[in-house]
């Protein structure tokens, strides 16, 4: 059974287990690049006590799958995996994993950064932050035109 490329889940993940599954039995793998994002205790200058993430089931996975297809077209990578957590999270909790395998490190590094830039700027997630001033819902996407230009993505249409 092939490893699922995209998981949107409430449960935590184990980096070592995920990387082992991604590269299992593939003797062509010479490099693994991974990124783990964690919940910070501050955002836009405000203290954050919890972060609640929501998504549109089905739509979010489809959008991330399409982005992984694009990463495989752009870079000489063997496998990729994205886990993004939803629900209520605390500072220090793991929130996202991007992992990529390739024969050589350069392709893995580039693909991992491409995927993470996409997730931060284009993936459809919404977050509610609990701050001392109360709760606030915000679009989880971050405007980063420089990151999008680096990959040749038009910020106006994603």
The second-level CATH assignment, the architecture, of 6-144 is: Alpha-Beta Complex (3.90)
Dist. CA 147–CA 12, nearest whole Å: 28
Average pLDDT for 91-106? 97
Domain ranges (residues) in the chain: 6-144
Model pLDDT, residue 156: 64
Rounded to two decimals, what is the model's pTM? Answer: 0.88
Helices (H), the chain: 15-23, 59-74, 105-121, 145-150
Give the model confidence (pLDDT) of 36-69 as tens digits: 999 998 877 778 889 999 998 999 999 999 999 9
């Amino acid at each position: 059974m092939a490893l699922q490329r995209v998981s949107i889940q409430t449960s935590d993940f184990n980096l070592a287990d995920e990387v082992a599954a991604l590269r299992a039995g593939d003797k062509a793998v010479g490099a693994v690049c991974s990124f783990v994002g964690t919940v910070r205790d501050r955002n836009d200058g405000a203290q954050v006590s919890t972060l609640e993430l929501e998504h549109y089931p089905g739509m979010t996975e489809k959008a991330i799958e399409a982005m992984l297809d694009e990463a495989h077209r752009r870079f000489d990578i063997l496998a990729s995996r994205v886990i993004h957590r939803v629900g209520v999270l605390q500072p220090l909790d793991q929130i996202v994993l991007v992992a990529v395998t390739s024969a050589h490190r350069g392709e893995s590094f580039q693909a991992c950064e491409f995927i993470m830039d996409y997730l931060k700027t284009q993936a459809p997630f919404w977050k509610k932050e609990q701050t001392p001033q109360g709760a606030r819902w915000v679009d989880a996407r971050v405007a980063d035109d420089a990151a999008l230009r680096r990959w040749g993505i038009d910020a106006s249409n994603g």
